[in-house]
Structure 1
Amino acid sequence: MHLLQQKSRFLLGAVLLFSACQPKNSAQQSAAMQDSLRHLAARYYEESMALNPLQATFNGENQYNDQLPIDISEAFRAKADSFYAAWQQTLKSIDTAAISGNDRITYDMLKREFDINREGLTFHDHLMPVQQFTCLPITLAQLGSGSSAQPFKTDKDYRNFIHRMERFAIWTDTAIANMRRGIATGYVLPKSLVVKVIPQMKDLATNKADNIFFAPLKKMPDSLDANALGLLAKDYKTAVETYILPSYAKLQQFLQTEYLPKARSTSGIGGIPDGQAYYNYLIRSWTTTSPSPEAVYATGEQEVARIRGEMETVKNSTGFKGDLAAFFNQVRNDKHLRIFATPAAILDSFKAIEHKIMPGVKKMYGHLPKTKFEIRQTEAYRAASASAEYQQGSADGTRPGVFYVPILDAKTFPYSGMECLFLHEAIPGHHFQISLQQENDSLPKFRRFSWIGAYGEGYALYCESLGKELGLYSDPYMYFGRLTDEIHRAIRLVVDAGLHAKGWTREQAIKYMMENEPLSEAEAIAEIERYMAIPGQALSYKTGELKIQELRRKYTKELGDRFNLASFHDELLKDGCVPLSILEEKMARWSSQVK
């Protein structure tokens, strides 16, 4: 859907039709209301994919694979605002008294999505469209690698991406114009982030055979004859050289010469004109709760203190005689904790963890995903600024879920955090949660492919706590690695609120992080700069984990012998990502049914 008038006509027609067909019988009315809601949810998903074609590609909806909207333009933002405003109005036709259970979850999630997305458009993040962690220039490179969600199997697939490359040149010009407006109005990135983006853009602008955008040329469709292959390869290479390389070069040049001198010295989002209001919005958006920045900060400090106490116990169990700071230093630098010589050995070690835990996982979960799973090394062009991450597979099973591991130097890769990392990013963390959600075709599509960080990241962090039950953490250094990851998420509450609400500097946040966990300075810098780039996102993990742990403790106590962990986990996951308030409500219904 591209024309807003067409959408508005449909919505008006749907409302009028629904009003004209109201049944008189209350049971019939309730059923009709549920059918209407499901119809609206299905229609919303279809139209939202047309509005957001890149998301459609990641969702496996391939009808928009040639499209790349200029989503940072004023015209697009006005269109998006009208889109969500129309859906807000349409949702008012639903009588909430006539729906319950899963349909009420759908209603509440639709309402939240319309409200939060529309509110987000009142802020000015489009004037800062490029940063080192996640932005269109990085996403496009991932898609253009040929190993991500963008298909490269047919002539049409390649020509779809050629069109996206053409559109990227327009996006680039818009981004530069927006950043010039940002310079004039105070919406600019911190200098420390700009200096990280510049080499990324330079690398992607390089006209060399190993540029990631040339990768699809190495595996052309074997269904084409020689002439067709030659023409396609020529057109594709020409598009990269005409649209991609000059665009990245233009971004690099602008950032280096014009933007960097005007970048701000402040580290937090509070340094932009409406930064405090924006951060309050981002807290609500990412956590699906409404704590103040001060409350976030206080919770973080409490959790840091608690976990440090556990760390002291583990440190003492190893026979180490110094204080915790000295133990951190040992963990950072002890060569005995750096056991790998090659990237392949690291990937093999992660595979061994998978094999070890699967028997226990099958007892903890009644439903396992069908989506295949792979472990890969993060691509070189983005490894320096990347964290370990999970990239979802496709719902139809044609693309596996992938656990990406950035390895800059295998000999310095610490083994102590590997077990909890795998539980979080892979199994039973993100791979289980996202795959089961996508595979559940009883959910409306917008829910099958939605992401709510407080739930998704909170669940993945909760999965780290399952290690001992799965036979992991027998090595005290591995368990210390688990505590390190947990305190890392608690530290995020402190430093994120510190940076964005309390005026902390980048250096202050790095110092706090290094004082409370055993990571290198380079790792601390990458983490802190990530929080600077995407304010509020790092709050999701601990907020959600604390809620899920609270629910497990509550129902273990309330249900006693009737509590079944596999049943708890299946209920936790079966409805996909939901806001934390909705999670509480649905788990309460589950408990009542068990009783």
Structure 2
Amino acid sequence: MQKVLAIVLVSTMAAVSLAADESERLNRWLDEQYELELQRSPLTLAVHGRKEQYDKVDDFSVAAELDWLDWLAASAAAMQTQFDYAKLSPQARLSYDFWLFRARSEAASRPYLYHDYVFDQFGSTQTYPVRFLLNYHVVDTVADMEAYVARVRGFSRAIGQWLATTKKAADLGIRPPRFAYEVVLQQSRGVIAGKPFDDAETDSALWADGSAKIADLKQRGLTDDEQAARLRLSLQEALLNDLMPAYNDLIAWHSEDIGNARAQARGAASLPQGDAYYEERLRHYTHSDLSAEAIHKLGLDEVARIQREMQVIMRSLGYEGSLQSFFAFVRDDPRFYYPDTDAGREAYLARTRALLTKMDGMLPEYFGLLPRSSLVVKRVEAYRERDGAVQFYEVGTADGSRPGVYYVHLSDIGAYNKTDLETTAYHEGSPGHHMQLSIAKELTGVPRFRTNVTYSAYTEGWALYSEYLAREMGAFEDPYNDFGRLVAEIWRAIRLVVDTGLHAKGWTEEQAVQYMLDNSAIPEAAVRSEIRRYLVAPGQATSYKVGMLKIQSLRARAEAELGDDFDIRGFHDVVLGGGSLPLPILEQAVTDWVESVRQAR
């Protein structure tokens, strides 16, 4: 008997060793592949805090996109021939499946390269050069500043490539709605407004940023007056001779073509191959084969369920009217808004910071993994701030040199209801995007692509799940704010209805606006901004609620299967500890975790 046990033990140890060897080999190979991919994108390297190719800007041509798709498909095919899946550890299998999922998902988008709008009010590609240079191009040395100037010229070429794609799409009958043109024109003109582009007394965003970075070099003794003057002159020439003509071309074409864009916006079905394109977008954003009809019904069911919960809170507050009249009360009563003053805007920011500070003290009870990166709350810069636009988060660097930032649009403070402030803080900050994306950046022991590649169904699904989790944690003490949480959740359920309505059922913009107003307390300015967002990004809005429901279902299943052995910290660490896993692969990770807990009993 002892001899048999010894043979079994040796066999098991050999199998573990084989899995470790094959898994380590796969991890190294995937890191090598991802490094090759990163080297294709100098801008992504900079976002990761790296300075290779620091004076370069990516190739944004369609040819370059096709070349990348070919490369990714070839990489996935090579992985399938070079590695024995059966010999991989469970964690390595997740990496293998993730890389393969990514290649297949991107390949599915190949027929629709001209369908995604390049310039619109949501993606705001027209402001990307400014956003990148201000937020990601760090200047520590004179060479870094010279690279900054080179990138100004490089972005001029990129704008030309983006415009060429836009013109080709227009030739194919693919144009965003007219309102998108209007925002593109307004923001593009804003980029080249101020010194040195005109005689205005104020500096343009890029001139102010570049000048400040040159001044900082001088203050730190890294350059003298003469060299600083040369750097300023070089920057001025790049702005006037390269960037300004590129933006003028962008403005001229949009000004000329705006008459061809639809004044009455229509969804994806109105585009060539629109139905097939929208189906592909739904698969991409939900990681499922759910049809538009199924998603629409799911949204209707969720709206009805959440409204029942809303009525419970409404009655507890002593309100006897209809839910729709309560929506109007919360939407319109001045008590639910900060004043349209500098003091009001600062109060909004201060309240947000206080809530997130309080949340920090609650996290260890629910999470083992916590981010090292800090979180700051900032108002969106004037050059890209828009009335009614959604708040958003930008992740920092893994080494903590750049914090995560929760950005708040406050130009129209009347678009933001006080009852929504708390929920949005948890969604964008902790335990939402800041925790999720920072932890992913800081992961070790997994291939690097898993710390950086993101999927909306996971990232937004988690952030929406975090809103409900914050309630479980006891964060919502004011019932009006808890009602605001349900407003935020019904907002995402409504997205399932209106996104499919707009893009598969022929709804008009006004139909979608009215449905959202009738079924939520969201201010009208925010509603109109949201509907226009969905119109230019088909399918993206469906990822939030589908992702949340998937995470909730995985948790419910784990709780049922593990009973008293279920640990909420362990579950959250599994969900956050693997990077932005596609939902089918996240499900496998949770399944593996449940099995490991069972075996440890």
- Please give the TM-score of this superposition, normalised by the length of structure 1: 0.91
SS of residue paired to 1:402 = strand
- CA distance in structure 1 between the partners assigned to 2:566 and 2:472 by the alignment: 16
Instruction: Call closer, same or farther: CA 1:85–1:582 in 2, change over 3 Å.
Output: closer
Superposition deviation, residue 273 in structure 1: 0.6
Secondary structure at 2:377 match in 1: strand
Of 296-305 and 92-101, more deviation after overlay is shown by 92-101
Work out the number of aligned pairs and report it.
568
Match of 1:496, SS state, is: helix
Deviation at 1:36, TM superposition (A): 3.0
Question: In the aligned structure 1, how far is the partner of 2:161 from the partner of 2:92?
Answer: 41
Give the Cα–Cα distance (whole angstroms) in 2 for the partners of residues 568 and 35 of structure 1: 25
Is 1:287 the counterpart of 2:286 in the alignment? yes
- 1:42-441 map, 5 Å: 42-71=31-60, 73-93=61-81, 94-125=83-114, 128-145=117-134, 148-208=135-195, 209-216=202-209, 217-220=211-214, 221=217, 222=220, 223-263=222-262, 265-340=264-339, 341-384=343-386, 386-410=389-413, 413-441=416-444
Alpha-carbon spacing, 1:143–1:176, altered in 2? closer, same or farther (3 Å): closer
Q: Which moved more, 1:223-232 or 1:31-40?
A: 31-40
Distance, in Å, in 2 between the alignment partners of 1:244 and 1:342 is 37
> Which sits farther off after the overlay, 226-235 or 169-178?
169-178
1:98 Cα deviation after fit: 1.6
Aligned identity (percent) is 33
> What's the CA shift string for 1:470-527, capped at 9, x where partnerless?
3322212101100000000001111111111111111111111111111222111111
Q: Which moved more, 1:56-65 or 1:195-204?
A: 56-65
Q: Distance in 2 between matches of 1:515 and 1:530?
A: 19
Cα offset, 1:283, TM superposition: 1.3
Amino acid in structure 2 at the alignment position of 1:591: V
Contact 1:128 1:178 in 2 (8 A): no
Cα RMSD for the two superposed structures:
2.0
- Aligned-partner SS, 2:376: strand
Letter in 2 for 1:218: A
Contact 1:77/1:121 (<8 A) preserved: no
- CA deviations over 1:377-420 (Å, ceiling 9, x no partner): 11122221631111000011100000011111446642111111
- CA deviations 1:439-461 (Å, max 9, x no partner) are 11212111111101111111111
The equivalent of 2:199 in structure 1 is: none
Q: 1:263 deviation in Å?
A: 4.5
Q: CA deviation at 1:243?
A: 2.1
Which one of the candidate residues 524, 527, 531 is aligned to 1:524? 527
List structure 1 segments (4+ residues) > 6 angstroms apart after TM superposition. Answer: 25-28
Q: What secondary structure does 2:52 align onto?
A: helix
Cα drift, residue 127 of structure 1: 7.4
CA shift, 1:27, in A, is 6.5
Between the aligned partners of 2:324 and 2:386, the Cα distance in structure 1 is 27
- For residues 55-99 of structure 1, give each alpha carbon's deviation from its aligned partner in whole angstroms, at most 9, with x where no partner exists: 22222233133222332x243133223312321331222221221
> 1-side partners of 2:142 and 2:266: how far apart?
46
Write the distance in 1 (CA, Å) between the matches of 2:554 and 2:65. 39
Q: Secondary structure in 1 aligned to 2:112? A: coil
Match of 1:593 among 584, 590, 596: 596
**CA distance, structure 2, for counterparts of residue 307 and residue 475 of structure 1:** 18
Deviation (angstroms), 1:285: 1.3
What is the CA distance between 1:49 and its match in structure 2?
0.9
TM-aligned CA distance change 1:366 to 1:32, over 3 Å? closer
**What amino acid maps onto 1:104 in structure 2?**
R
Q: Report the CA distance between 1:29 and its aligned residue.
A: 5.3
Which amino acid is the alignment partner of residue 81 of structure 1? L
SS for the counterpart of 1:416 is helix
**Does the 8 Å contact 1:127/1:175 carry over to 2?**
no
Q: Which residue of 1 aligns with 2:29?
A: 40
> What are the equivalent positions in structure 2 for 1:419-568 lying under 5 Å apart?
419-568=422-571
C-alpha change, 1:64 and 1:302, in structure 2 (3 Å) is farther
- The offset of 1:214, in angstroms, is 1.7
Q: Which amino acid aligns with 2:383?
A: Y
For 1:213, the aligned partner's letter is: L
Residues in 1 aligned to 2:544 and 2:443: alpha-carbon distance in whole angstroms = 24
- Paired residue type of 1:134: G
Could you tell me how far apart the structure 2 residues matched to 1:431 and 1:179 are?
33
Structure 1: state its 5+ residue gaps: 1-24
1:125 alignment partner, SS class: coil
Q: Is the 8 A contact 1:360 1:470 kept in 2?
A: yes
Does the C-alpha gap of structure 1 residues 272 and 499 become closer, same or farther in structure 2, counting only changes over 3 Å?
A: same
Shift in alpha-carbon separation, 1:283–1:397, aligned structure 2, 3 A: same
- Output the CA distance in 2 between the equivalents of 1:116 and 1:380: 36
Q: Work out the CA distance in 2 between the residues paired with 1:174 and 1:583.
A: 36
2:380 and 2:410 in contact (8 A); partners too: yes
Deviation readout 1:99-155 (Å, 9 max, x if unpaired):
13111011011111122222323213377321111143222221122xx12212222
Given the superposition, is the C-alpha separation of residues 210 and 522 from structure 1 closer, same or farther in structure 2, using an over 3 Å criterion? farther
State how far apart, in whole Å, the 2-side matches of 1:66 and 1:532 are.
Answer: 36
| Matched residue type, 2:158 | W
CA contact 1:206–1:245 (8 Å) conserved in 2: no
Moved more, 88-97 or 437-446: 88-97
TM-score by length of 2: 0.90
- SS, match of residue 498 in structure 2: helix
Amino acid at match of 1:547: K
What residue in structure 2 maps to residue 9 of structure 1?
none
Question: 2:9 is matched with which residue?
Answer: none
How far does residue 281 in structure 1 lie from its aligned partner after superposition? 1.3
- Residue 581 of structure 2 is matched in structure 1 by 578
Distance 1:473 1:532 in 2: 33
Q: 1:337 to 1:127 in 2, by over 3 A?
A: closer
Specify whether residues 485 and 262 from structure 1 end up closer, same or farther in structure 2 by C-alpha distance, changes over 3 A only.
Answer: closer
Alignment check: 8 A CA contact 1:127 1:179 kept: no
